[in-house]
Amino acid sequence: MLYIDQYVYQNKLRFSHPLEKTFFAGVILLCCVASGKPLVHLAVLAVMLGLLVCVAKIPGFLIARLMLAPATFLLLGGMAIAVNVAASPAGMAGSLQLGPLYLGVSGQSLALAAVTVTKSLGATSALYFLVLTTPLSELLYVMRRLRVPAVVIELTMLVYRFIFVFLETAFAMYNAQSARLGFVGFKSSLNSFGLLFANLWIRAFFRSQAVYNCLLSRGFDGTLTVLNPEYKFSRNITPVFTLLASGLIILAVVA
Amino acid sequence: MSLRRAEQLKQDILTADKITFSYLDGTTALRELSVKIPKGKRAAFVGNNGAGKTTLLLHFNGINRPDSGEVRYRDSKLDYSNKGIKELRKNIGFVFQDTDSQLFAGSVYQDISFGPLNLGLPQAEIKVKLERVMTETGLHALRDRPPHALSHGQKKIVAIAGVLVMEPEVLILDEPTAGLDQISASRVTALLNKLNSSGTTIILSSHNMDEVYAWADLVYVLKEGKIIAEGRPADVFRSQPVLREAGLRKPLVLELYDTLVSNGCLPAQGEVPATGEALMSLMTGTDVRPGKREGISHVAGV
């Protein structure tokens, strides 16, 4: 299991104020999305990945793995944007005839594809920056400060916690099944997976009742409020964030 | 000691009077069960799986409501209104067996803060309480960790801390040491002893007879939803019919002591030794045959 969480808790930006990290990531994200220049997007990508690897000391392989998923998706999507299908090759920079139709790319469609891909990558890196440097308990604090509705915060908290319980249960069942040769063939794999899934739902149901009883025992009255520790703004990081953010904004405006 | 204080000590803090309880699927878990838990004691419920231990314990904080009969807290019948239940659960803390169901927040600190926030205490006061309970349970180093990054033993301590912080008068724990390693288990037991000596009534269920025998003031044996025996551990665990009926094993220290006494190796004592160490010191103090020392030191493993 890939516990991204472990890296989040060990990252070197962990103790900078969650609000400033959120604000920084938000400004950069806005800057990236508002700008139509691939140069700006690539600058955002470089700054965010650089911060993650060099300052937060998150291992490069983890970031590479995390970026790979959206990158693959974006490359395929980008190709779909770049390539047009038309009845005539007029206006295309290069084309390929397939029967009565022409598959081709134009300068315009290439530029659009480039902007879409770089913009999405840049925006993703900004979000990864926030997610990889700020543990969820602190993001919940930010959500509360930003006056996100309590229901959303409570659901986020419960989903976060029970994803791990759910995964642990699922893996335990999977191991128990494979120990009894549940996944040796295609047919048995399908069968075992079906059983695993069905059982997981039953477990989840009983678990939810148990959780509810536990909450009741501790005086639950409909709201899941918890207390957050106090966070401090750090002297080293705040100027760095300010500098980088203003640099990127200037680049977005000027470029 | 004033008469009033003596009276208070004798008081039963929790009473179940002929309670019957069935689950929705029709299984009857408790059958006209009656029990009294004296204030300030360490009470242990034992019995096999399915005997009704957890079901009974959940009656004491109002999660389960009896079909017939009544549960009393300090001589007054439980008030199942929202307000009454809230007040009851403030006074009666419950630590569940499955810590993964109990811990829900993103960090240890946040999880422990849940109870006192529900009590509606001011934040400043809650913060003081949080620091105090984290010192008491030794959790400072883990305060920012998420529950899934903790070991089972650590989770158990966090679960207990989350209840302790509400400063309950009675602490109920469902199999608190089940699945814990020796060190974690003795840490939990030591914490419970500390709480008990400062006046908290402690009720737990357990499958470990050696542990119960060494720890409890009172033992209650459950079988098929009924109490079949209760009393001091030495008395209850000496009754062969009770042990046989409930399917329990006699605690090792008691077994050893009784065997030694009946074989004339040890004079009968006024007070039966509760722990392996107590038995050891009795033996090393009285044993006239130093040649047997080697055999004695082996008992240390008990």
For the cut 50, the answer to whether the pLDDT of residue A196 exceeds it is: yes
What are the chain A neighbours of B58 within 8 Å (beta carbons)?
213
DSSP B61: T
Q: Helix H segments across chain B?
A: 3-10, 53-60, 82-91, 99-102, 108-118, 123-137, 152-164, 182-197, 209-215, 233-236, 240-246, 252-262, 276-286, 293-297
Give the pLDDT confidence score for residue B9 in this predicted structure.
54
Kindly give the confidence (pLDDT) of every residue in chain B, 302 residues in length, as a single tens digit, with 9 standing for 90 and above: 455 555 555 689 999 999 999 998 888 999 999 999 999 999 999 999 989 999 999 999 999 999 999 999 998 999 999 889 888 999 999 999 999 889 988 889 999 999 999 888 899 999 999 999 999 999 999 998 888 889 999 999 999 999 999 999 999 999 999 989 989 999 999 999 999 999 999 999 999 999 999 999 999 999 999 999 999 999 999 999 999 999 999 999 999 999 999 998 888 888 888 888 888 888 887 544 444 444 444 444 43
Please report, rounded to a whole number, the percentage of residues in chain A having pLDDT higher than 70.
99
Give the pLDDT confidence score for residue B10 in this predicted structure.
66
For chain A, the residues whose C-beta falls within 8 A of a C-beta of chain B are 5-6, 9, 135-137, 140, 157-158, 160-162, 164-165, 168, 207, 210-211, 213-221, 224-229
For chain B, the residues whose C-beta falls within 8 A of a C-beta of chain A are 58, 61, 63, 82, 86, 89-90, 93-94, 96, 98, 100-107, 109-111, 113-115, 117-119, 123, 126-127, 130, 143-149, 162-163, 166
**Antiparallel, parallel or unpaired: β B76-77 and B92-95:** unpaired
Integer Cα distance of A228 and A138 in angstroms: 8
For the cut 90, the answer to whether the pLDDT of residue A183 exceeds it is: no
**Which candidate, B64, B60, B82, B81, places its Cα nearest to that of B72?**
B60
Give the pLDDT confidence score for residue A253 in this predicted structure.
82
Q: What is the pTM of this model?
A: 0.79
Integer Cα distance of A54 and A22 in angstroms: 19
Integer Cα distance of B224 and B60 in angstroms: 18
What are the chain B neighbours of A226 within 8 Å (beta carbons)?
105-106, 110-111, 113-114, 117
Q: Across the interface, do A6 and B149 touch by the CB < 8 Å criterion?
A: yes
How many beta carbons lie within 10 A of that of residue B264, not counting itself?
7
- For the residues of A114-155, what is the DSSP string, one character each? HHHHHHHHHHHHHHHHHHHHS-HHHHHHHHHHTT--HHHHHH
How many beta carbons lie within 10 A of that of residue A185, not counting itself?
10
With cut-offs at 50, 70 and 90, classify the pLDDT of residue A249.
confident
Shortest CB distance from B110 goes to which of A158, A220, A227?
Answer: A227
Give chain A's mean pLDDT.
Answer: 87
Matching residue, tokens 């806005």: A30
What are the chain B neighbours of A221 within 8 Å (beta carbons)?
82, 86, 118
Give the pLDDT confidence score for residue B48 in this predicted structure.
92
For the cut 60, the answer to whether the pLDDT of residue A154 exceeds it is: yes
> Is the ipTM of this structure higher than 0.85?
no
What are the chain B neighbours of A216 within 8 Å (beta carbons)?
63, 89
Paired tokens of B143: 């305060």
Backbone angles phi, psi at B42, to 5 degrees: -110, 110
Integer Cα distance of A48 and A39 in angstroms: 14
Smallest CA–CA distance, residue A247 to chain B, in Å, is: 34
Q: Across the interface, do B148 and A229 touch by the CB < 8 Å criterion?
A: no
Tens of pLDDT, residue by residue over A4-47, are 888 888 888 888 889 989 999 999 999 999 988 899 999 999 99
* Interface probe, candidates A214, A223, A225, chain B, greatest B C-beta count within 10 A: A214
Matching residue, tokens 């800057």: A31
For the cut 80, the answer to whether the pLDDT of residue A90 exceeds it is: no
Integer Cα distance of A242 and A20 in angstroms: 10
Please give the average per-residue pLDDT across A213-227, as a whole number: 85
Top-confidence residue, A77 or A97? A77
Paired tokens of A38: 């691939």
Integer Cα distance of B277 and B301 in angstroms: 10
Please report, rounded to a whole number, the percentage of residues in chain A having pLDDT higher than 90.
32
Shortest CB distance from B101 goes to which of A137, A168, A214?
Answer: A214
Distance of CA A53 to the CA centre of its chain: 17
Q: Across the interface, do B123 and A136 touch by the CB < 8 Å criterion?
A: no
Single-letter code of the amino acid located at B284: T
Are A254 and B146 contacting, i.e. CB atoms less than 8 angstroms apart?
no
Q: Which residues contact A156 (CB under 8 A, 6 or more apart)?
A: A136, A139, A140, A143
Q: Please give the helix or strand (H or E) that residue B93 lies within, else none.
A: strand B92-95
End-to-end CA distance of chain B: 38
Q: Which residues contact B261 (CB under 8 A, 6 or more apart)?
A: B267, B268
Backbone angles phi, psi at B68, to 5 degrees: -145, 165
* Interface probe, candidates A226, A228, A231, A232, chain B, greatest B C-beta count within 10 A: A226
Are A203 and A33 contacting, i.e. CB atoms less than 8 angstroms apart?
no
